[in-house]
Amino acid sequence: MTEDTLPTSTASGPAIDADSWVCPLPLRDSPNIVMGHGAGGALSAELVTHLFQPGYGAAGTTELGDAAVIAAQPGRLSFSTDSYVVKPTFFPGGNIGDLAVNGTVNDVSMCGGRPMFLSTSFILEEGTPLEDLARVARSMGWAAERAGVRLVTGDTKVVDSGNGDGIYVNTAGIGVIPDGVDIRPDRAQPGDAVLLSGCLGLHGIAVMSSREGIDFGTTVESDTAALNDLVDVMIGTGADIHVLRDPTRGGLAAAVNEIARSSEVGIEIEESRLPVPEAVSNACGLLGLDPMFVANEGKLMAIVAEQEADRVLEAMRGHEAGQDAVYIGRCVAEHPGAMVARTGIGATRVVDLPIGEQLPRIC
């Protein structure tokens, strides 16, 4: 399901109807972003009223001012931000808009926070089609509604043609961490089990195939998805979840390495247990990539005490976003800080933190 299945009108406003725009400049004759859209004047205000608010729909607010006022309960908040520069803007299974919402929702969730509010900030290249921007905004509204978060404040800047690349989006998110939850990258302990919520590599291969025009015989769709509800279910088991991490840029290898270093444990991954779809496997073989290094945008890795692993795994499998969850390895006292992969024939090899990225501009 992609943003294309969205209804063209939403609870909070009509769909974009260029013919009804009231505008001091004839926008109907200029269907693209102009510098004035980023200038804080009438054109900026119209972009908010006629494009962002209808696009965000029920997930947005009628104000979208310079700052939002939100109510806070006492306790701990989770606060995260990411900028998104993925190329191309639209790819199989998603686009920069739902990616930007889901990505920050997930970052807020990975320390146990329940995401509540997101900001959205755009850097647009002069000449970007308003239609593209509207499609991205609709995706953001749709993804936010699905994830149960509100898009409460925002900003738009425009840069000269040639000084940007269509649409860049930043989202920042705030979530509330329930009492008693203590999920941190430095809490992995020797003996802990390592769980993965589903198969590897879909997002990276989807973006690469659409960018490079490579046809792998079957369309690989990005797995971009919000994981906050899955995290809720996992926390709801009462199990003491030590670490959560979404293996995005740098893939599973970067995520496991970072946790191994933060927690000063070794982490052993059994390669034969890693779920890699055939299309991803074929694409990786063709391109010389390792699926462990390819980005995911709708998967999480969990580290829990060994005796609680089955219970958490069962809860994950009962949720749509975790139905293919598997046990993939364990934490050990040996070689602290290092990730080791156990191959099918029983040999082991060290998997280091990637230096850069096999595929740039993946998110």
Amino acid at 285: G
Nearer to its own copies, 79 or 273 (CB): 79
Amino acid at 35: M
**In contact, 296 and 247? CB cutoff 8 Å:** yes
Tell the smallest beta-carbon distance from residue 144 to its own copies (Å). 15
CA distance 300 to 259: 13
Nearer to its own copies, 150 or 330 (CB): 150
CA distance 314 to 327: 11
Tell the smallest beta-carbon distance from residue 93 to its own copies (Å). 20
Tell the smallest beta-carbon distance from residue 82 to its own copies (Å). 5
Tell the smallest beta-carbon distance from residue 318 to its own copies (Å). 26
Nearer to its own copies, 157 or 319 (CB): 157
Give residues with Cβ within 8 angstroms of 221, minimum separation 6: 92, 93, 94, 202, 206
Tell the smallest beta-carbon distance from residue 278 to its own copies (Å). 26
CA distance 19 to 228: 39
Tell the smallest beta-carbon distance from residue 315 to its own copies (Å). 22
DSSP assignment of 336-357, as one string? TT-EEEEPTTS-EEEEPPPSS-
**In contact, 150 and 116? CB cutoff 8 Å:** yes
CA distance 84 to 249: 12
Nearer to its own copies, 243 or 304 (CB): 243
Tell the smallest beta-carbon distance from residue 341 to its own copies (Å). 17
122 forms beta bridges with 156, 169
Amino acid at 71: A
List the one residue out of 358, 272, 258, 340 whose CA is nearest residue 301: 258
Distance of CA 149 to the CA centre of its chain: 14
174 forms beta bridges with 79, 117
Tell the smallest beta-carbon distance from residue 179 to its own copies (Å). 12
CA distance 157 to 35: 8
Nearer to its own copies, 206 or 309 (CB): 206
Nearer to its own copies, 55 or 166 (CB): 166
Q: Is the dihedral of CA 83, 244, 174, 105 positive or negative?
A: positive
CA distance 119 to 109: 16
Tell the smallest beta-carbon distance from residue 221 to its own copies (Å). 22
Three-state SS for 268? strand
Q: What is the largest CA-CA distance in the chain?
A: 71
